[in-house]
Amino acid sequence: MKVVIQRVTSAKVTVGESLVSSIGRGLCVLVGISRDDTQKDIDYIVRKILNVRYFEDETGKRWSRCVKDKKFEILCVSQFTLCHKLKGNKLDFHCAMAPTESEAFYNKLLEYLKKSYEPDLIKDGKFGEYMQVDIVNDGPVTIHLESPSSQDSDSSQALDASYKPTENSDGN
């Protein structure tokens, strides 16, 4: 599973002229589901969405609070194009989970996210629809994550375990 997480001051999803969902400050999460993803991938991605420290604390110290600490909203949007391969200049999506399976899998991700956080703070787009996603990126902060099965799990776990932000880490 691949996700792109954007820290936002606001975000909304529309289909045509109809507003589907909107949030204030929080995270907009674009979700790409690979054909080999399992519950283990959901567990990993949900844990990272909820616990990575994207936000400042009350004193302004950067990278010290997660979305749960701040009680901010999360807007999830399914985006199969994250699971692309390039064949020359042509996009190939054979690694993406089939639409019929991925809708159930995406809904399972949303359920687990709601169960692990506050259900009223989790919003989403409209699966399988042509959507317009409007965000106001805060920072800008954009994080790309892949679950261990989407990459070499040994190197991802080593990187994950070894990263510790320094006291003066401000992202610049």
Summarize pLDDT for 114-164 with one digit per residue, the tens.
999 999 999 999 999 999 999 999 999 999 999 987 764 333 344 444 434
Catalytic, out of 38, 81, 142, 151: 81
Catalytic: 80? yes
Residue-level pLDDT at 153: 37
Distance (Å, whole) CA 17 – CA 111: 27
6, 55, 72, 80: the active-site residue = 80
- In the chain the first and final C-alpha atoms are separated, in Å, by 28
* Entry pTM: 0.85
Catalytic status, residue 105: no
∠ at Cα 139 (81, 4), nearest 5°?
20
Q: How far apart are CA 10 and CA 12, in angstroms?
A: 7
Structure tokens given for 77? 């949007």
| Cα radius of gyration (the chain) | 16
Per-residue model confidence as pLDDT tens digits over 158-171: 444 443 444 444 44
Report all structural domains of the chain as residue ranges with CATH numbers, in order of start.
2-150 (3.50.80.10)
Predicted pLDDT of residue 151? 64
Helix (H) or strand (E) segment spanning residue 55: strand 53-55
Catalytic position from the list 6, 55, 72, 79: 79
